[in-house]
Amino acid sequence: MQRIITYTILSGDSETSVLSFLRKNGFSKHILTTMKRAEHAILLNGHPAFGRTVLKEGDVLRILVPEENGAADNGSAASIIPVQLPESVEPDIEPENIPLDILYEDEDILVLNKPADMPVHPSAGNYENTLANGVAWYYKQQGGNFVYRCINRLDRDTTGVLVLAKNPLSGALLSAQMKQRQIRRTYLALTDGIPPERGTVSAPIARMDDSVITREVNWEHGETAVTHYERLAVSNGYSLVELHLDTGRTHQIRVHMKYIGCPLPGDFLYHPVFDRISRQALHSFQLEFCHPITKKTLRFLAPVPEDFQKAFAEKSL
């Protein structure tokens, strides 16, 4: 989506060029290039300005952030910008009438509570019934173009908080926060077994030989992966564990908890025990980050799903 941002120049940015100011505020080379092709992308005090124009205290700078080239036209399929997505993602998303649980929305971000049994985005052989299809429908009903930019990816059966960027600038800034580990992710998991009260798992993860999906701890070929955990409670042989990630490897929590002997119940890949829950007991409980434009600290929580609560309280037969 196109975004118009207005800045009032403060004394610290006086005598700075427009280009330097924009770079300071996170405008990437790519975004600046798209702005060159847009009409009246830079207005200073209501008049067209250029990158070399010098700013003065009190100036009002209006910036148009254009959408990426190739974004969908009204009524057509939406498109994907792979902020955190794998290369196998298809470029177009067909809108589907899928209800969304919206926790928050403004001009720059959309925060959702993702349900279980829903992929975040289309992939080879699965182009429908994904969160991306539902988001495409949501914006189609509003008559707006939408490019899908998912910042924190969740597995198909992992529930909870997920944030999308609604324009190129917020996407670039949130992606940078993710890479710099400035987005704090808090997960809740149930484990089959009782781990130590708290600890850190630092064990590299790699794709298992002869498998496209399954991961394993692999000290020779794996990529660095660090998970911090704290046991919160124990009930009927299950532990409720809070987890924080330093890295974001595929299936990281699921692999690391299995590695220390406390796998997640209901996990079809790593611990296929379904007597108390039918999917991996993992929930993205809280997401905390700095708003890409306002710079305010935001914190979003997603209620713990009913199946998760029931599995923890229920005795196995």
Q: Express each pLDDT in 176-196 by its tens digit.
A: 999 999 999 999 999 999 999
Alpha carbon 239 to its chain centroid, in Å, reads: 27
Q: Considering the candidates 13, 59, 108, 155, report the single residue annotated as catalytic.
A: 155
| Range 219-228, long-range pairs (CB < 8 A, 24+ positions) | 223/247, 223/249, 225/201, 225/249, 225/252, 225/255, 225/256, 226/200, 226/201, 226/202, 227/200, 227/201, 227/252, 227/253, 227/256, 228/198, 228/199, 228/200
Is the pLDDT at 285 greater than 90? The verdict is: yes
Please give the pLDDT value at position 112.
98
Q: What span, in angstroms and rounded, lies between the C-alpha atoms of 68 and 30? A: 9
Q: E strands along the chain, which residues?
A: 3-8, 42-44, 47-48, 60-65, 78-80, 92-93, 102-105, 109-114, 147-148, 159-165, 184-192, 198-202, 205-207, 215-217, 226-235, 238-245, 282-290, 297-301
Which among 134, 146, 167, 143 is positioned nearest to 78, based on CA atoms? Answer: 146
Q: What span, in angstroms and rounded, lies between the C-alpha atoms of 183 and 284? A: 13
Give me the mean pLDDT over the 86-108 stretch: 80
Which of 14-28, 38-52, 115-129 shows the lowest per-residue confidence on average (mean pLDDT)? 115-129
Please give the pLDDT value at position 73.
40
Helix, strand, or coil (residue 294): coil
Is the pLDDT at 133 greater than 60? The verdict is: yes
Tens of pLDDT, residues 9-24: 999 999 999 999 999 9
Which among 259, 250, 299, 313 is positioned nearest to 123, based on CA atoms? Answer: 250
Tens of pLDDT, residues 47-93: 999 999 999 999 999 999 998 754 444 344 444 544 444 333 445 78
Give me the mean pLDDT over the 194-213 stretch: 95
Describe the chain by its helix, strand, coil percentages, rounded to 5. Answer: 20, 30, 50
pLDDT over 70 percentage in the chain: 92
Question: Residue 211 in contact with residue 283, Cβ under 8 Å?
Answer: no
pTM above 0.75, yes or no: yes
- Name the burial class of residue 284, with classes exposed (0-12), middle (13-18) and buried (19+) by CB atoms within 10 angstroms of its CB: buried
Place of tokens 């708003």: 291
Please give the pLDDT value at position 80.
53
What does the mean pLDDT of the chain come to?
Answer: 90
Please give the pLDDT value at position 83.
46
Most confident residue range from 22-31, 91-100, 122-131, 145-154: 22-31
For this structure, is 275 an active site residue?
no
pLDDT over 90 percentage in the chain: 81
Please give the pLDDT value at position 76.
41
Is the pLDDT at 206 greater than 70? The verdict is: yes
